[in-house]
Structure 1
Amino acid sequence: MASGLTLAPAESDGVGYTPAPLDREATFYVAGHRGLVGSAIVRRLESAGFTHVVGRPSADLDLKDRDATFAYFAEAKPRYVVLAAAKVGGILANSTYPVDFLSDNIRIETNVIDAALAHDVDRLLFLGSSCIYPKYAPQPIREDSLLTGHLEPTNDAYAIAKIAGILHIQAARRQYGKPWISAMPTNLYGPNDNFSPQGSHVLPALIRRYDDAARSGAPSVTNWGTGAPRREFLHADDMADACLYLMEHYDGPAQVNVGTGTDVTIREIAATIAQVTGFTGRTEWDTSKPDGTPQKLLDVSTLSALGWTAQISLEEGLRRTYSWYQENIAELRG
């Protein structure tokens, strides 16, 4: 059957693999290449000289379809893979559709990882999310905090799916000796983000809300919660750079945190976005709505020790993102 696995087990956990520069002429498949992270990874790979970066839009390839996924791998024959495809959303979407977030993401991950095994992909990077960590994990959150406490209830289904992906990568390392890795980014933002009112994360939601208010001359903007939670934000272009860096410099079973190592309150980020968008009215807070996790700052010492740090400041990243939003606003609202 097209979607079966026939690999022989290995005794190693990727032992013996030495990270090195990737072959710029090899086929490099980016799953989710049109999304926030995937599109940034494509830009980074092309700027680094990769000549055969491939992807397939979801309208042409449904990664939840196992046979279709295996057929694509047989056709494309990728040597390297970044698994950035996922069903994503903010607090409202995660709280409303937990079955979808759990089922869709587990199917995507399972199909892509199993197809990569069946077609002997050399290097695969799985992208998760910082929501995999316990709600009350000690701050900043270390990689070894995984599975040490209860998850944030508003996105636990999505988190469980991403945890399953991490364990799937570790299992591939143990059973087949594949030098595959996982990376856990903090809150990401940038071009090609989801700016829809119902499905977006906090930062693009705020950009749209404040831009709408500035354009309409509204006297006030109302945000969810108290504004007190602290969040760390990383520009997608920095994340893409970190992904390539990890694939060329890291090998190990543990997921690697990717972030800036600094955070701000939601109130602070809202004030910055108001300034960037030119909104001069009042900001009000609907405290009947949930705040989510009180703080979610990643310990990035593992990545820093490998020699990588983020380069794009939050203010500069917001200005770039807002500029892109303005240039694409007609399409985003179409």
Structure 2
Amino acid sequence: MERMQVAGVTIRDVWRAQKRIGSIVSKTPLLFSQHLSDRLEANVYLKLENMQPTGAFKLRGAANKILSLTKDEKDKGVATFSTGNHGIAVAHVAKAANIPATVCISRRVPQEKVKKLKRLGAHVEIVGDNQDDAEQYCYELENQSGVTVIKPFDDPEVIAGQGTIALELLEECPEIDQAVIPLSGGGLLAGISLALKSTDATINITGVSMEKGAVMHESLKHGRPIVLKESDTLADSLLGGLGPDNRYTFSMVKQLMDKSVLVSENSIAKGIMFMLEYHKMAIEGAAGAGIGWLLGEESSKYKNIVLVISGNNVDHDTIRSLTGKY
């Protein structure tokens, strides 16, 4: 059997990542959703990455990258750019390993995430109105001080780290035939897809983005990474560009994803409130996007569906504002 390798990342890299990050990352529960299952006449499971210590899946990729650095690189410190969750993950790992960390974010990042970054001891730089501005400043820091930039998604170790989710899925639900995954820069979808399709190429991979600023979705339509203006959205974690020199995630998503779908803000809100009502969990908009999409489907041809609940870093004010509407 030929080994699957996409953009230089292999299933062996994912297994290495699982071993490396075991002391920092939690194995998250796979929750059966009775209501969604009844609605779609299928078995629908929720992979609860919102239960990571940092509240999101990003911990996996950040841990794998940072723990792979040399001692000299660790001593010089790390920096990253983020819409919030990746920065929180980098700050968490850096604090545990006693490594200096700087997180560059845009003004669009919710205050709840900014406060969390500061509580973790990271130096926070707020730059510009979008992730591209924060990214540019982050690389300026790299040139000035020699810190190592921990990319949010377009990095082999980060991709492999996110792929460890799939190893857990296959252990708990080997019959999985569809994975519904939030899609932004593509690190999460690329890692999970590589591991799942290395096991069974027929497993369907569906990426879910918001209608406003779905950069990977639009880039795939254009055949190359493009730049989109960011807009306010409940799924703020899915904002951000693909980077001017995307080397891994664009090609991996293009090769591995079977379907890309967009959901409205109304559907995202319904997904958030569904999780609160039926499973008593507060989740962020990016995590609610997949639920919102499934709630809009009348049936499914798949029998064992897994939704990745990517994170829980949502502002309290957002939950309060939605409670009276849905």
> For the superposition of Structure 1 and Structure 2, which TM-score range results when normalised by the shorter chain?
0.3 to 0.5
Q: TM-score, normalised by structure 1?
A: 0.34
Larger-Rg structure: 1
